[in-house]
Amino acid sequence: MNLLLRWPHIASLLALALATTFGVAPATAQTYPTKPVTLVVAYAAGGAIDIVMRIILPRVTTGLGQPVLMLNRPGAGGAIATDAVIAAGNDGYTLLVNGDQLVTAPHLMGAAIRHDIFRDLAPITRLITVPFALTVSAAVPANTLAEFIALAKNKSSKLTYGTPGAGTANQLAMEFLKSQTGADILHVPYKGAAAVMNELVAGRVDSIMISIQLTAPHVKSGKLRALAVGGPARASQIPGAPTFAETGFPEFDIGTTFGALAPAGTPEPIIGRLHAEFVAALRAPAARKQIEDTGTLVTADTPQEFAKKLRIDYERNGKIIRDNKIQGE
């Protein structure tokens, strides 16, 4: 009697072996998802990425046909969330949302970061970018970026810039500007964005690199001036501020970015499905308008583009941190 008829499980094993050998996608990838998906967000609730996820997740849930559950796990430079997702396995049911911490924390925290983002994670898509605006106190005698840089090069000006804390993306952005222009501006770290914005409005610190959402109300009131903004176009919230490209710095595309990632080894068909659903949700006209009305840009790029961006930012941030001996808090 034919062995395959006597032992049907042999036929199943043979089929699986052939599928593996010839690269046929596993059944789990073809039918994914069959249960809820958990999205671990490496930030506390209430921030920019949290707001965006709450806008798009109902659409992603509908597209996938399974609930997508959001779990906020901030702390340790994003390592708590990142390590938890990596440990959960690569079946596509536990995903990560993280931002610039991915490419900054390894340089700031050294051996405390056990993962390697290029080895242990698979990019799905960048979700959003939050452009920074270079903003100055009304007391600073500069109305353009060129005037500000000229003033900062004059050591007698003793200009300062504030940040929400040492090692933040805000500090890296300003230090990058200093390295590109030769400006001399003293860093003054504060405990959080609200504290530094209050000091800037009061004139006790001269400048800041901060999100458009936070600076726009003060610019409109005349208490602050925005000299330049990151991103490909002017921000509708502060249309009078030119882009860095318009001011002669086309490579200075500064802001914070957030993306979705899966553990390395997640099957390509699953990555493709997730990419398609996240991008569709982000690009839905109503959702996109709701997101971009806040000064946040929808990115929605490919896994390959996201991977390239991670590598570029990792190398750039590492150099800035090393050159300026920056230490995190």
The set of residues, in sequence order, having a beta carbon less than 8 Å from that of 150 and lying 6+ positions away, is 142
pLDDT tens digits for 12-47? 444 444 444 444 444 466 789 999 999 999 999 888
Q: Which fold has domain 131-229?
A: D-Maltodextrin-Binding Protein; domain 2 (3.40.190)
Domain ranges for the chain, please list them. 35-129+256-323, 131-229
312: number of Cβ within 10 Å: 11
pTM: 0.85
Same fold, 35-129+256-323 and 131-229: yes
d(CA 249, CA 148): 14
199: three-class secondary structure by DSSP: helix
Under 8 Å between Cβ of 299 and 126: yes
CATH annotation of 35-129+256-323: 3.40.190.150
d(CA 188, CA 21): 58
d(CA 118, CA 115): 9
Query: Rounded to a whole number, what is the largest CA-CA distance in the chain?
Result: 96
pLDDT tens digits for 190-218? 988 899 999 999 999 999 999 998 999 99
The DSSP string of 54-79 is HHHHHHHHHHHTS-EEEEE---GGGH
List 132's β-bridge partners, or say none: 211
